[in-house]
Chain A
Amino acid sequence: MTNSNVDKERLQASMARLFDIYKEIAVVADQVSTWRCLYKDQHDRCTAKFGCRNQLHSRVPGELPVCTGDDRLDYRSAWEI
């Protein structure tokens, strides 16, 4: 099979598989949002584009702020525009 000759059935199966992966991600994201701020990355850095009282800014330029939230409170109340 060449690039211009796509196996349509296989493509449909591939897209269904990708959608299933994304679907599970969406379900997990919903669950995670109840116990961890969704903007907090795996290194506990804040990726939000807005200010939050839980952000501890680094002195290193370009470095993401550290999230100091304890996740025990509703983090959403700390979000600011």
Chain B
Amino acid sequence: MPIVHEGLKKELEYVTRPGERKHIEEIFERADPFLHDISHNLIMGKQHEVDRLTKEALDKGFAANTVLDDGLIAGMAVVGVKFRDNIIFVPEVLVAARAMKAGMKHLDPILSASGIEPLGTVIMGTVKGDLHDIGKNLCIMMLRGSGFIVYDLGVDTKPEEFIEAVIEHDAHLVGMSALLTTTMPNMGRTIKAFEDAGLRDQVKIMVGGAPVTQEFAEDMGADGYGKDAMACVEKAKELLGIGAVAFPAPAAR
């Protein structure tokens, strides 16, 4: 059926590569118009609307798979195209990813009930004294997309906050980010805090950020270093002993 959602039709104008346009249009054309609203709100980064509409779709009886494919992922596909073609930039992508997370919140319990468990639980934060978060946020988006549960502690995270989060969420992996040479030592201090708390053997710690190197990571006693968001996911899987697995339920939090 033709797409009648005016906002979505406008967004599709940004998809200019013919094959890509055809593919995305086909997804929207076969989808129920109610799901168009979810896609459009996700593209616009309206997390509260995506939250509400996803719940409503499930309440109406739409299958979880359908809501995921034809609502959330279809919207994110348009976001990816707009980003690739420099129509939007990282802040808009991250807002859309936040909306995706808001929708996934309602799908997670249903998807988990299918018997597939998340890959693991990760605590992520930018270290104390550092307010730079965009690299960390990209890593979180990727980790969630890979099937990890991620708890984001935000920026300026004290060592004790990392420790409390690990205990509270029974996490086995911590990811720390720093962008300043002046705050990099706080990664080492956080690792030391885990040692002092007697928890160092229970968690793997990975680090990243523009000034961080493999050598620095090793010197401060981290278990792994990821130079970018993709490497972060690979390192997380490696540290938790996860091989090339099929994708599980996303369990985005």
Asked if B145 and A32 make an inter-chain contact with CB atoms under 8 angstroms apart, the answer reads: no
Question: A39: shortest Cβ distance to chain B, in Å?
Answer: 6
Q: How far apart are the CA atoms of A66 and B226 in the complex, in Å?
A: 32
Question: Which A-chain residue is minimally distant from B248 (CB atoms)?
Answer: A15
Question: A58: shortest Cβ distance to chain B, in Å?
Answer: 16
* Contact A21 B76, CB 8 Å, known A15-B147, A38-B89: yes
* Contact A40 B247, CB 8 Å, known A6-B64, A49-B133: no
Select which of A23, A36, A38 is within 8 A of B230 by beta carbon.
A23
Interface size for B (C-beta < 8 A) is 55
Asked if A10 and B69 make an inter-chain contact with CB atoms under 8 angstroms apart, the answer reads: yes
Q: Which residues of A contact B133 (CB under 8 A)?
A: 49
Asked if A81 and B129 make an inter-chain contact with CB atoms under 8 angstroms apart, the answer reads: yes
Q: Which residues of A contact B80 (CB under 8 A)?
A: 21-22, 24-25
Q: How far apart are the CA atoms of A32 and B146 in the complex, in Å?
A: 23
Question: A74: shortest Cβ distance to chain B, in Å?
Answer: 11
Question: B77: shortest Cβ distance to chain A, in Å?
Answer: 6
* Contact A42 B138, CB 8 Å, known A6-B64, A11-B65: no
Asked if A10 and B145 make an inter-chain contact with CB atoms under 8 angstroms apart, the answer reads: no
Q: Which residues of A contact B230 (CB under 8 A)?
A: 23, 26-27
Asked if A14 and B142 make an inter-chain contact with CB atoms under 8 angstroms apart, the answer reads: no
Asked if A14 and B73 make an inter-chain contact with CB atoms under 8 angstroms apart, the answer reads: yes
Q: Which residues of A contact B132 (CB under 8 A)?
A: 48, 50, 79
Residues of A within 8 A of B (CB): 1-8, 10-12, 14-19, 21-30, 32, 36, 38-42, 47-50, 76, 79, 81
